[in-house]
Amino acid sequence: PFARPSIWPRSLFPMAHQMDPALVREIKSLPGNDACVDCLAPNPQWASVSFGTLFCLECSGQHRGLGVHISFVRSVTMDSWSGDQIAMMRQGGNGKLRDFFTERGVPNQMRIVAKYHK
C-alpha cells in the first residue's frame, strides 16, 4: 500500500473509512434510493459519488465504463469513503437526478452511456 510521506501535508490524504450501517440506512432512505437510478432494480449497492446516486451491480459496470471523470463509482459497503464523498451522497439522491433528467427531456430508459454523455 501507498504510505504518505511525512513531508506531505495531511490535506492531500483525507481520512477515509467504510460507511457504518446507520449511514448506509440514511443514504438509502433518500427519495428514490431504494431502487437503481438507471434500471430501477431493488436494493442498489453501488454509488456514483459524482451524481450522489445509487445503482445495481450491472449498472455499476456501465458507470465504471464512463470513466471516473464522469461517474466515480464506489461500493456502498465494501469501499472506503471520505467525508466529502459522504457529503455528496447526502446531498444527492436518485429522485433528484431522475427529476433533473425528466425536466430536461432525458428518458430514464435511455442507455447509460447516452444519458450521462448528453
Q: Hey, what amino acid is at 46?
A: W
Q: How high is the pLDDT of residue 17?
A: 77
Q: How high is the pLDDT of residue 11?
A: 53
Burial readout 77-115 (b: 16 or more C-beta within 10 A, e: otherwise): eeeebeeebbebbeebbbebbbeebeeeebeeeeebeeb
- What is the distance between the alpha carbons of residues 54 and 57, in angstroms, rounded to a whole number? 10
Q: How high is the pLDDT of residue 18?
A: 85
Phi-psi label, residue 52: left if phi above 0, alpha if psi -120 to 50, beta otherwise: left
The pTM of this model reads 0.83
pLDDT along the chain (118 residues), means of 10: 51 68 95 97 97 97 94 94 94 97 94 88
Q: How high is the pLDDT of residue 117?
A: 84
